[in-house]
Amino acid sequence: MKAIEVYAYGSARQLSYEEVPLPEPEAGQVRVKIQATGLNFVEIYERKGLNKIDLPFRPGAEFAGTIDAIGRDVTGFEIGERVATARGKGGYAEYAIAPAGQLVPVPIETSLEQAAALMLQGMTAHYLSRSTYPLKTGDIALVHAAAGGVGQLLTQIAKKFGAYVIATTSTEEKAEIARNAGADEVILYMQEDFESAIQRLTKGRGVDVVYDGVGKTTFTKGLNCLIPRGMMVLYGQASGPVEAVNPQVLKQKGSLFLTRPSLSHYLLTRQEILQRSSDLFKWLAGGEIVLKVDRSFPLAEADEAQRYMEARQTKGKVLLIP
């Protein structure tokens, strides 16, 4: 089969498209014939060595397809069943392995491409808005990078549960995407300082929560946007890792809460995995959320796909198609 291998940390040129042996599922695992693989910034962090993974490795945790082979001690799944996962292994390939406990069935009304686009970013948006800081009517949320895949879904879920959303984007084109997702206000941070804009838009009140997947360039000012006892949810670092934080700063700025969550810690049980995915599939089928696939690249062009993401050009989900 064809797959992408990484032998050294570095630029997108390290993504090597080559012929590799077909993986065999071990006990508790299944093999999936991949229909689509979702790209995520974590794979860029891994490729650069920001998130250390033993070399060589094959990227890709999020994919959807049909079950092709079943390992020992696996029950509840059948050959040919449509499935998806946000926590598989080696998804930049034609076939990949996933722990059976991390797979979810894909309902017939959802395409496999939609499932691949929804799993990681959708469940990230779900845990951020329903668990890390459970949004409710009256809350004001600042959502950075609101035109991106997580940002669009997070905005839609926030609005579904009654929050007021202030979004940041870099361009007017992306601002329109954020508005279409339901954002109440959009700040073009290249044209206006978002900290000052938050003070203006909230009449000095501030926001209850900041959802920050950008990191280095937004983090410090984001703290200044929070109300006393507000929460900074730092869930990514698209612009680079933030500098070390002295806990005294949190006290000085209003007894703030700071969390650095990870999806893996919000999918600790089978029940959590099924509940989050079930909600997302139900909301998608019912039109309560809209999923935007920005671009699809052939597997052989995984390097171009990652460059596209690194350039912050995305306006939704990016997929790899074997």
- Is residue 287 predicted with pLDDT exceeding 90? yes
Lowest mean pLDDT among 39-43, 112-116, 140-144, 318-322: 39-43
Residues 49 and 160 grouped into a single domain: no
Structurally, how many domains does the chain consist of?
A: 2
**In CATH, what number is assigned to the domain containing residue 49?**
3.90.180.10
- Note down the domain range covering 193: 137-260
List all residues 6 or more positions away from 97 whose beta carbon is below 8 Å from its beta carbon. Answer: 23, 25, 26, 29, 30, 31, 32, 88, 89, 90
Summarize the confidence of residues 33-46 as an average pLDDT: 94
Residues 87 and 174 grouped into a single domain: no
pLDDT band at 45 (very low <50, low <70, confident <90, very high): confident
Read off the pLDDT of residues 70-97 as tens digits, 9 standing for 90 and up. Answer: 999 999 999 999 999 999 999 999 999 9
Please say which residue of 260, 287, 305 terminates a domain.
260
User: Residue type at 263?
Assistant: L
Residues 94 and 148 grouped into a single domain: no
Summarize the confidence of residues 192-221 as an average pLDDT: 95
Alpha carbons 189 and 285: distance in angstroms, whole number = 34
The pTM of this model reads 0.90
pLDDT of residue 151: 93
Residues 251 and 272 grouped into a single domain: no
Alpha carbons 134 and 237: distance in angstroms, whole number = 22
Read off the pLDDT of residues 4-37 as tens digits, 9 standing for 90 and up. Answer: 999 999 999 999 999 999 999 999 999 999 999 9
Q: How far is CA 277 from the centre of its chain?
A: 14
pLDDT band at 310 (very low <50, low <70, confident <90, very high): confident
**In CATH, what number is assigned to the domain containing residue 218?**
3.40.50.720
pLDDT of residue 135: 98
Alpha carbons 320 and 299: distance in angstroms, whole number = 5
Residues 50 and 106 grouped into a single domain: yes
**Taking Cα atoms as reference points, which of 206, 214, 218 lies closest to residue 140?**
206
pLDDT of residue 220: 94
Alpha carbons 232 and 234: distance in angstroms, whole number = 6
Summarize the confidence of residues 49-68 as an average pLDDT: 94
Alpha carbons 217 and 182: distance in angstroms, whole number = 25
Read off the pLDDT of residues 155-189 as tens digits, 9 standing for 90 and up. Answer: 999 999 999 999 999 899 999 999 999 999 999 99
pLDDT of residue 50: 83
244 or 79, greater pLDDT: 79
36 or 236, greater pLDDT: 36
Residues 149 and 250 grouped into a single domain: yes
pLDDT band at 221 (very low <50, low <70, confident <90, very high): very high
Q: Tokens for 135?
A: 């949004």
Residues 115 and 19 grouped into a single domain: yes
pLDDT of residue 72: 96
Read off the pLDDT of residues 119-150 as tens digits, 9 standing for 90 and up. Answer: 999 999 999 999 999 999 999 999 999 998 89
pLDDT of residue 322: 95
